[in-house]
Amino acid sequence: MITHSHRDLSHIIQRMAQISSDVFSPLLIPTYGMAAMLWLTPLQFLPEPLRVNITIVIAAMTALFPTAVIFGLISLGKVKDFSLHKRKERFVPAAAIIVGLTGAILYLRHAHAPIWMWLFFISGIATTLIGFIITFRWKISGHTTAMAQLLALIYWLGYQHLLPVAPLLLVSIFTLLTGWVCTARLLLHRHTLGQVFAGVLLGLTVTLLTLFLSTPAI
């Protein structure tokens, strides 16, 4: 009975870890970042239909487009599955991610968005390129890199007093979420502790350095 209970608990934990990995997929982080910038900052006073439309456009470019490319590669037999375990399978998806992020940057610049909004997506391009180069030798965690980018964004917004409501609480929540995603990747045996930590370090460092190049003006 005890063994059976332990097995059930292990299955539940593994399932939660997998769901967390899917919900906080690197492909979804740019959309979450966009939503955070539009709903948690003074930009929340923009008309809601406008904010929704902007978020949908960003999601189409940074999430749907790369996803479609990956599914296309799977159907052609070029990629085994969506997890992209093999390093050689990551070149075209990484290129698709960069194309999508570039489209987001051009769209936001055309819409005269604040510089810090599109700099967040520039940091995404930088981490994608650096992470791709690192994977030639070592499998750094893309999930924890992306989550650390989102955490860095929330921290920077709080530091610049652009989070009008409960900035400390928001930073704490996103810190816990980042920690949970790190734990999930370890529970799923997708990465070592070093690979997870390196992803966090990459995401935080590149994103904070990029954002601090901007001004806090809305």
In this structure, is residue 45 part of a structural domain?
A: yes
In this structure, is residue 218 part of a structural domain?
A: no
The pLDDT of residue 217 is 47
Cβ–Cβ under 8 Å, residues 127 and 208: no
Cβ–Cβ under 8 Å, residues 101 and 125: yes
Listing DSSP states for 43-97 in one string gives: GGGS-HHHHHHHHHHHHIIIIIHHHHHHHHHHHTTSSS-TT--SGGGGHHHHHHH
Distance from chain centroid for Cα 111: 23
Query: For residue 6, what are the domain limits?
Result: 2-211
The pLDDT of residue 6 is 63
In this structure, is residue 176 part of a structural domain?
A: yes
pLDDT tens by residue, the chain, 218 residues: 446 666 777 778 888 888 888 899 999 999 999 999 999 999 999 999 999 999 999 999 999 999 998 888 888 777 766 566 666 667 788 899 999 999 999 999 999 999 999 999 999 999 999 998 998 888 899 999 999 999 999 999 999 999 998 999 999 999 999 999 999 999 988 889 999 999 999 999 999 999 988 765 44
The pLDDT of residue 81 is 63
In this structure, is residue 165 part of a structural domain?
A: yes
In this structure, is residue 166 part of a structural domain?
A: yes
The pLDDT of residue 213 is 81
In this structure, is residue 29 part of a structural domain?
A: yes
Please tell me the total count of domains within the chain: 1
Cα angle 63-24-200, degrees, rounded to a multiple of 5: 110
Query: Contacts by 44-50 with C-beta closer than 8 Å and gap 24+?
Result: 44/164
Q: Give CA separation, 90 vs 69, 97, 107, 143, 188, in Å.
A: 11, 10, 26, 14, 20
The pTM score is 0.90
In this structure, is residue 216 part of a structural domain?
A: no
In this structure, is residue 74 part of a structural domain?
A: yes
Helix (H) or strand (E) holding 211: helix 193-211
The pLDDT of residue 216 is 52
Listing DSSP states for 103-118 in one string gives: HHHHHHHHTT--HHHH
